[in-house]
Chains A and B, each alone.
Chain A
Amino acid sequence: AQTVTQSQPEMSVQEAETVTLSCTYDTSESDYYLFWYKQPPSRQMILVIRQEAYKQQNATENRFSVNFQKAAKSFSLKISDSQLGDAAMYFCAYRNIPENSGNTPLVFGKGTRLSVIA
């Protein structure tokens, strides 16, 4: 079974600085998707960014970018120019792409709580 590990339960960053959240995963599959979700105090789960494993280029969404290292099974999230609104719990998630027409659920890590210091 696939597992997702987020080794940093808590992180903090100064406003306007850059922070990187770590995520590693364990899989024997070659095709899959990776995601980062943000959960602010409102509890809503918000998709931040996603990465297809077959794409070598790292995904970017405005101030959010990833460093995808397929061989190392690493998928870190970099937040640039951190803002107070970035304070939240961040979850890394994995979704396998079956070879047949089957389907698979998302598997989540335990999360990293990010604090932004003004």
Chain B
Amino acid sequence: DAEITQSPRHKITETGRQVTLACHQTWNHNNMFWYRQDLGHGLRLIHYSYGVQDTNKGEVSDGYSVSRSNTEDLPLTLESAASSQTSVYFCASSPGRVTEAFFGQGTRLTVV
């Protein structure tokens, strides 16, 4: 079955290190999104892409970057991890511009 997978599921890293979270979907969806989930804030949009070579900043993009070199993958990079980036990160994709998004299982990132 087609799906969207995130890796790793859990990660602990040190302040200042570069970290990349992977997101891979096999639905061939053009739209992909990264959100972070924090208590009291719900899901906040970090970056999103509507197709290959397209990337856009979301509400909380500072300190994060993405690149879209193919349809299936949208990796999220933390250039220099900070304790404020400790969170649960969700990747999502959608086939069209008016449909719901389908989510990965989430990655819990702890920055120490």
Task: Please indicate the chain A residues that have their CB under 8 angstroms from the CB of B33 in the complex.
Answer: 105-106
Q: Report the separation of the CA atoms of residues A87 and B69 in the bound assembly, to the nearest whole angstrom.
A: 39
Q: Report the separation of the CA atoms of residues A35 and B92 in the bound assembly, to the nearest whole angstrom.
A: 15
Whose C-beta in chain B lies nearest to the C-beta of A4? B42
Task: Please indicate the chain B residues that have their CB under 8 angstroms from the CB of A104 in the complex.
Answer: 97
Contact A47 B100 (CB under 8 A): yes
Asked, given contacts A43-B88, A109-B42, A111-B42, whether A102 binds B97 with beta carbons under 8 Å apart, the answer is: yes
Contact A108 B98 (CB under 8 A): no
> Residues of A within 8 Å of B, CB-based: how many?
24
Majority SS at the chain A contact face? loop
Taking the closest CB of chain B, its distance from the CB of A21, in whole angstroms, is 13
Within residues 1 to 49 of chain B, which ones have a CB less than 8 A from any CB in chain A? 31, 33, 35, 40-45, 48
Asked, given contacts A105-B33, A108-B35, whether A50 binds B40 with beta carbons under 8 Å apart, the answer is: no
Q: Report the separation of the CA atoms of residues A13 and B96 in the bound assembly, to the nearest whole angstrom.
A: 36
Taking the closest CB of chain A, its distance from the CB of B90, in whole angstroms, is 7
Most B CB contacts (10 A, CB to CB) among A97, A102, A106 go to A106
Task: Please indicate the chain A residues that have their CB under 8 angstroms from the CB of B100 in the complex.
Answer: 33, 35, 47, 50, 95, 106
Taking the closest CB of chain A, its distance from the CB of B52, in whole angstroms, is 14
Whose C-beta in chain A lies nearest to the C-beta of B96? A103
Q: Report the separation of the CA atoms of residues A110 and B59 in the bound assembly, to the nearest whole angstrom.
A: 14
Within residues 80 to 96 of chain B, which ones have a CB less than 8 A from any CB in chain A? 88, 90, 92
Task: Please indicate the chain A residues that have their CB under 8 angstroms from the CB of B35 in the complex.
Answer: 108
Q: Report the separation of the CA atoms of residues A2 and B86 in the bound assembly, to the nearest whole angstrom.
A: 26
User: Contact check: which of B43, B88, B97, B101 meets A98 at CB < 8 Å?
Assistant: B97
Q: Measuring CB to CB, which residues of chain A are less than 8 angstroms from any residue of chain B? A: 6, 9, 33, 35, 43-45, 47, 50, 91, 95, 97-98, 101-111
Show 12 A/B contacts (Cβ-Cβ < 8 Å), sorted by A. Answer: A33-B100, A43-B88, A43-B105, A97-B98, A103-B50, A103-B97, A105-B33, A105-B58, A106-B33, A106-B45, A106-B100, A110-B40
